[in-house]
Amino acid sequence: MAESKEARNKALVLKAFDTLFNKRDYEAAGRYWSPNYIQHSAHIEPGRDGLFNLIRNAPDTLRYEHQLAVALSAAVERVYPLDQFKEAFEQSLKPNRSGKILFKFGAH
């Protein structure tokens, strides 16, 4: 059975996030994020470089896990829209926090 377009798209997005947030392979991540990437968060520098610099300056302990993995492995204290990454990241570093961040995509 052929893999659906949705399944291929999901795999692509998960690979992109793993490449940037977990492996921190900026050269490979550049193949997933366009040079014309628009950063909509006012808390992150503009463009692809702004996002990449945010991750470059983040502690090595910052990891990305998609929602299902996070939901199965730890209690979720709060769900953040992706554009609130910086706030979520800062909250995750506070004492007695798991360090895990859960993001929602789109208007759910």
This prediction has a pTM of 0.59
pLDDT 10s digits, 1-38: 777 666 677 777 788 889 999 999 999 999 998 888 88
Hey, is 80 helix, strand or coil? strand
- The pair of structure tokens assigned to 58 is 């983040």
pLDDT given for residue 23 in this prediction: 95
pLDDT 10s digits, 60-101: 888 887 655 333 334 455 566 666 667 776 766 677 665 555
Calpha distance 108→95 (Å, rounded): 30
- The pair of structure tokens assigned to 47 is 């463009």
